[in-house]
Amino acid sequence: MDHALSRRTAVCLFTLVVVAWGLNWLVTKAIVQSVVPLWATAIRTAIATVALFGLQLARGQLVLPRRGDLPVIIAIAGLHMVAFSTLVAFGLRFAPVGRSVVLGYTTPIWVAPGAWLFLGEAMTKRRLAGIGVSLAGLAVLFNPLAFDWHDRGAWAGDGLILLAALCWAANILYVRAHKWLSTPFQLIPWQTLLATTVLTTVAFAIDGPPQIRWNPALASAFLYSGVCGSALAYWAMAVVNRSLPAVTTSLGLLMTPVVGLLGSAVGLGEPVDVALVLALALILTGIALGTLPRRASGAAPCAAPSAASSVRP
């Protein structure tokens, strides 16, 4: 069993996770340039499955899922690991990484009204303000000066990423409503195993056997995404969540799209214009407004997506 870390160690580990997840958008972009999205997602998930089962066995923490946890295994595997990851992979074939990561992190905009409608969570003035500010950021992205309305590829890429964000939001809502019997980390290997099975079956049915020209760079990208960006990051967040306050990790995870945006500019040479920076600032400000609870009311925060409420960005 993992013990709580010192605050300094937990912050350092958390920082590594944020950087790993931010850079994973760049790695995924590189992978889908060489491998069709379905097989790219299936192979990455299979690598994560092997690594997670190995990690759980090495730590003596592997458990069989209980019947009461089967619905959440199916929900996370289907909504996040299959739907979200595949839609992002397809979207990244058309959209630049910087814009995609900003759109992907609109998820909390859709979580807040969903939690109000389906979970009975209060829609406070702070949350409404946060949604309004975030939607203003989304409007900046799609204004005529920042978006080419005649580019069908841009429409397709942005639409797929936004649909992925909706799937992520639906996953978070289900996870919030679920009554956990095992810990989230104990169930992750079974979720990735189910997702790998589904993705592989669908990939064979649609694309046939994988046609991949392997090279060291592609193999390294897959290993990074499956091991560092998935398995080790899952474990690290499971430890960090026991060592840092939930609001701290929720707000800290907002740096993930910042890392992705900076990485796309430095590593891929993607342009970062004023509209994109302003949109990101507004979206993250809105999410932060909805995440921070009022001390007086004790209202539950509308947290940004985290390893506890979802799986991976």
What does the alpha-carbon distance between residue 173 and residue 119 come to, in Å, rounded to a whole number?
Answer: 8
The pLDDT value given to residue 142: 86
The answer to whether 272 touches 137, Cβ cutoff 8 Å, is no
The pLDDT value given to residue 293: 62
Region of poorest pLDDT, from 65-79, 99-113, 148-162, 183-197: 148-162
Say which residue the tokens 């609001």 belong to.
247
The pLDDT value given to residue 73: 95
Instruction: Specify the amino acid at residue 32.
Output: V
Residue 296: count of CB within 10 angstroms of its CB: 6
What does the alpha-carbon distance between residue 61 and residue 43 come to, in Å, rounded to a whole number?
Answer: 24
Which residue would you say has higher pLDDT here, 194 or 250? 194
Q: Which range scores top for mean pLDDT: 4-18, 142-156, 238-252, 268-282?
A: 268-282
What does the alpha-carbon distance between residue 306 and residue 165 come to, in Å, rounded to a whole number?
Answer: 13
What would the pLDDT profile of 219-266 be if each residue is shown by its tens digit?
999 999 999 999 998 888 888 877 887 777 878 888 999 999 999 999
- Report whether pLDDT(301) > 70: no
Residue 11: count of CB within 10 angstroms of its CB: 16
Residue 75: count of CB within 10 angstroms of its CB: 18
The pLDDT value given to residue 295: 53
b/e per residue 168-199 (b: at least 16 CB within 10 A): bbbbbbbbbebeeebbbbbbbbbbbbbbbbbb
- Report whether pLDDT(187) > 90: yes
The answer to whether 100 touches 88, Cβ cutoff 8 Å, is yes
What does the alpha-carbon distance between residue 72 and residue 178 come to, in Å, rounded to a whole number?
Answer: 7
3-state secondary structure of 180: coil
3-state secondary structure of 88: helix
- Report whether pLDDT(294) > 80: no
